[in-house]
Chains A and B, each alone.
Chain A
Amino acid sequence: MIKIVKRDEPSRAIFFLTPVLAIFLTLVAGGLIFYILGFKPFEALKFFFIVPIADKYGFSELLLKATPLCLIAIGLSFCFKSNNWNIGAEGQLTFGAIVSGGVALLFYEQEGFYILPIVILAGAIGGMLYASIPAILKTYFNTNEILVSLMLVYVSKLILDYLVVGPWSNPEGFNFPETRQFSDSARLPLLFEGLRIHAGIFLALAAVVMSWFIFYKTYLGFQMKVSGFSLKTAKYAGYKGKKMIILVFLISGACAGLAGVGEITGPIGQLHREVSPDYGFTAIIVAFLGRLHPVGIIFASLVVAITYLGAETAQIFMQIPKYTGQVFQGMILFFLLASDYLLFFKFKFIGSKK
């Protein structure tokens, strides 16, 4: 007989193994879906997960997609660890892109080493401003940050839409909904000739190190951690709980804003309607798959980035819609939540009783 028993203590090994299990189950279920659709499961999975990263170009693309995911997820980990459910990173990304794009457009005819830092800073500030809306509404007016941050996503997308169609659209652009190209001084440098991977990856790595340092080494991180577990305890210890909430939103917004900057000053080079293929939403999956741990998030962002690439390859070679990528992302989250059950419960095999 198999019995399900509650664990005394969530096992640390299981804590980091369940994401692996979730990925494995996603592959199995994905194979099954391909089989039902009439493909050979192993071949299809190979097209999805191995072919896209088999060469240098593919690997660069992988890092290119993983960069914003990692950056945003690191920011989100600050919010999620302290029980603030910011799910509007997509909006913060978009607004960061708008602000930094606006600044980059100001300098469109100019050259200079100072331009890029200003553009990057503008993006971070834009993200922070946008994240401060749900934060302030939550702390001072008791609104629900999930709703506010989510709905602001659509607001930011509409603002972007208006700008690229209207006031900011390229005067020589034949009414395409896009702005001018940024000048080279406002672009993140490419790391290798012929590959799209750009210096934004260092921003992501810096964010990883910074978040690790803040969370594990500083008093500020300690206060965030305590406030996240219990606001009552935070109050009793004399921490400023409300400021802590606003702070984590700002950090999270800054990271999402930076991800937006990375996209428009990296591969895109201008503002148009689609600055992000929902990186801000997918990063939520990345954050949880990486267990809100900086190193875990690096791995998770690579895994989830593959689903973007795989979807494109699958579309080209197998004529499957690229939305399959989102199916895989959904399955990862689904199986992760399901296997989290194992964190708190375990199966016990017991011999049949007399």
Chain B
Amino acid sequence: MTIFIILLLIMIVGALVATYVRDLLSAVVSLGIVGLTQSVTMLLLGAPDLAIVQLVVEILTLIILIRATISKDISARVNGPREFLVAATGIFFVLSFLLISYHGLRHVSAFGHPAMRISHDYLQQGLAQTGAANIVSAIILNYRAFDTLGEATILFAAVIGVYTVLREVGRKKSDEQK
């Protein structure tokens, strides 16, 4: 269990560096560190499917975000006494959230002993009923195929949204406004 605590601390340090550094390119690279450490953590938690998906999705996120940092806009800082007030409000909200979540986390099953009520049947009869050796694939495409249909719909909507926001035809000419 100590290996997970070390990996989580690396992720927290990476997240704090991504928040505070002023150059946008360095912040995006730090986000890449968080994502790659998460992929290693998922591999050590017994989820090789998820480690592959997280790795390649992290690479695509880095490509998309670096495309957006093409301007040389240095992020401005809130100056004066307002900076302390903003940071104090942020820390207050995060601490109160942690306190309330501690009361909720006491009722969740202990780390390392999951209460597998439905998954016991999936693991016992999965190979015989579906014929697939990979139980995760059997779940997402056989037992719970509706969720995959919903995910395909969300992906479709997001792609159409990007095409619509970034299109060329049908926009008002910006010279007429100036």
**Chains A and B belong together in one complex:** no
> Which of B's residues lie within 8 Å of A, judged by CB?
none
* A interface residues with partner B (beta carbon < 8 Å): none
